[in-house]
A = this chain, B = another copy of it.
Amino acid sequence: MQRDATVMSKRLAALRAELKRQKLDGFIVPRQDEFQGEYVAAYAERLKWVTGFSGSWGVAVIGRKTAAIFVDGRYTLQVKHEVDGKAFQFHHLMTSPPTEWIGKSFTKGARIGYDPHILSVADAKRYSTACEKAKLKLIPVNHNPIDAIWKDQPPRPASAIVDHPLKYAGQSVAQKLKSIRSSLKEKGADAVIIADPTSVAWAFNLRGNDVPFTPVALCYAMVPATGKAHLFVDGKRLSTALQKSIKTHAACGGANVDGVLTSLGKRIAKVMLDPIAAPDHFRLALQKSGAKVIENPDPCMLPKAMKNKAEQQGARNAQLRDGAALSNFLCWLDDAAASGKLTEGEAARKLLAFRQENKELRDLSFESISAAGPNSALPHYHAHGEGRRLALNSIYLIDSGGQYPDGTTDVTRTVIVGKPSEEMCDRFTRVLKGMIAVSLIQFPEGTTGAHLDALARAALWKVGLDFDHGTGHGIGSYLSVHEGPQRISKTGNAPLKPGMIISNEPGYYKTRYFGIRIENLLLVTETQKLKGGERAMLGFETLTFTPIDRRLIDTKLLTREELHWIDGYHAEVLSKLQSRVSAATKPWLKDACAPFN
């Protein structure tokens, strides 16, 4: 699906002319936008516009004569379809990173440009170290050369910004700013620039619609230790009510971020920045104006991750709504797939329709992964067009989620169309055993996701199998479907804390045959102190309620405790959802939730 070759080569030539004009020998083009977000607006699809690559992660480095694009394992095939191999070298982002390639591909003294509004402080530092080593000059550009030549670049989004009501947020803006200010005091900072739009949304109880799937306004904020905060956004975008309520806390104005930063730097001494979230030009502007930059993780990250009681209750409510829609879909699917004609695309649209039956749905939380047969073996699969048909006696995997005003959902179910093979049941049951082990674990304060990851894998490891993604990621509250700092993975070093929501999604993928993933969301809770127990323990409350396909479970592989869990889970699914599903789904739900014992 390569784009028109002439168009693409004209763009590349125009960019090279612009580089010459700006006296640059090369330019770094990352996928990310000014907000380091997972989803970017159309205007920020610079990498795609200049290379043709449409993946969600990657970077190109374009020189006057040479160019290369760097993608990870998910995209090594796709990049070859989409990008002109005569114009671009293809490299693996991890094993042959751009920082190395730059050193080998430019001669000493070459001027490598980057857009400091896009590269984060941490990214710019990595490139800077690499350029220093190779004796190249790393140049922050004032005007992005792609923007300079992209005639019909779409406008920046300016969606309406609305209030996230207190009944869902659970905490007022005043309370949140107070907690941010106490972090500032702790670190001796005079102000913090909040660069992550989900943190701005959290801190000011607002939501927007600038990008798909994540209900944020693309903007920054500045919170000083004393005095009014500043929201770097055009005040007119705020709803009238929000304009009024926010006035007490913050001034609005998005036109001149650098100007505000410079005047800020002149007035106060120490400004806190998260080097992973903040674009490098914040650092440059602050340092130029004489302020000291204190690099520190975003102070909103931890309180945003630890959901309060209102957010927890919101999550429970959203999940029930979502579970009912997914159950209606799975019931419908059992019939509809029997024809052998149902496509992946049609299935995904039907699920969206079931979700939309509930008027609370605001958006999906990511593009659904609707994968039939061998496609289910690709953890990040997305169909082009209608995709594959669901064949008899094959696996179908659906990974999807919704955005509701009280919570964000993310759930995966794997079902059999027709009859499963023994191998499918064995693998499904092992994945389920891992999912149950994580669901059941209790653990003391201080335990991290890295400490728990093996529980999700032990039943697979036992027979020489594994899966190549993390076991779980954090989830926002009507915010991003991927949220830090918590995760369950080999490298998940953040302690799990009460109120955090995390996914529990072990899998198994047999390339070219089938894939399995079962995903519930879990809430970290403080457990009741047990009789004879000596220490406080944390545990998980399951938030996701939708049947797990009994036809794929080999009960011989389950322990008594695991059998007890699955029967208990299904009993809860039935009792919570039976009044919420459609009349047609009710008998199906009862069957799907029947106990084994």
Which residues from chain A sit less than 8 Å from chain B, CB to CB?
423, 441-444, 446-447, 450-455, 457-458, 461-466, 490, 527, 529-530, 532-537, 559-561
Contacts and interface: CB of A to CB of B under 8 A. Distances in A.
A532 B452 contact: no
Contacts of A423: 532
Contacts of A461: 441-444, 537
A591 to B, nearest CB: 29
A48 B416 CA distance: 71
Contacts of A453: 451
B464 A537 contact: yes
Given A451-B451, A451-B453, 6 more contacts: A442-B461, A444-B466, A447-B490, A450-B450, A450-B451, A451-B454
Given A461-B442, A462-B442, A451 B530 contact: no
Given A451-B490, A453-B451, A465 B534 contact: yes
20 contacts: A441-B461, A442-B461, A444-B461, A444-B466, A446-B490, A447-B454, A447-B490, A451-B490, A452-B454, A454-B454, A454-B455, A455-B458, A463-B530, A464-B529, A464-B532, A464-B534, A464-B535, A464-B536, A465-B533, A559-B560
**Most chain B beta carbons < 10 A, residue from A442, A453, A462, A561:** A462
Contacts of A534: 464-466
Contacts of A561: 559
> Secondary structure of the A side of the interface?
loop
Nearest to A454: B451
Contacts of A490: 446-447, 451
A314 B490 CA distance: 34
Contacts of A463: 530, 532-533
Contacts of A458: 441-442, 455
A535 B442 contact: no
A61 B463 CA distance: 55
A403 to B, nearest CB: 33
Nearest to A562: B559
Contacts of A533: 463-465
A19 to B, nearest CB: 36
Contact of A530 (B446, B457, B464, B560): B464
Rank and list the top 7 A-B pairs by shortest CB-CB distance, nearest first. A464-B533, A464-B530, A442-B461, A451-B454, A559-B559, A463-B530, A464-B537
Nearest to A442: B461
A558 to B, nearest CB: 11
B451 A443 contact: no
A526 to B, nearest CB: 12
Nearest to A453: B451
A55 B236 CA distance: 70
A455 B455 CA distance: 8
A412 to B, nearest CB: 21
A329 B441 CA distance: 38
A466 B559 contact: no
Contacts of A447: 454, 490
A532 B457 CA distance: 16
Contacts of A466: 444, 534-535
Contacts of A457: 443
A462 to B, nearest CB: 6
Nearest to A536: B464
Contacts of A455: 454-455, 458
A272 to B, nearest CB: 21
A225 to B, nearest CB: 24
A401 B424 CA distance: 48
A435 to B, nearest CB: 15
A574 to B, nearest CB: 26
A261 B450 CA distance: 43
Contacts of A451: 450-451, 453-454, 490
Nearest to A447: B454
A534 to B, nearest CB: 6
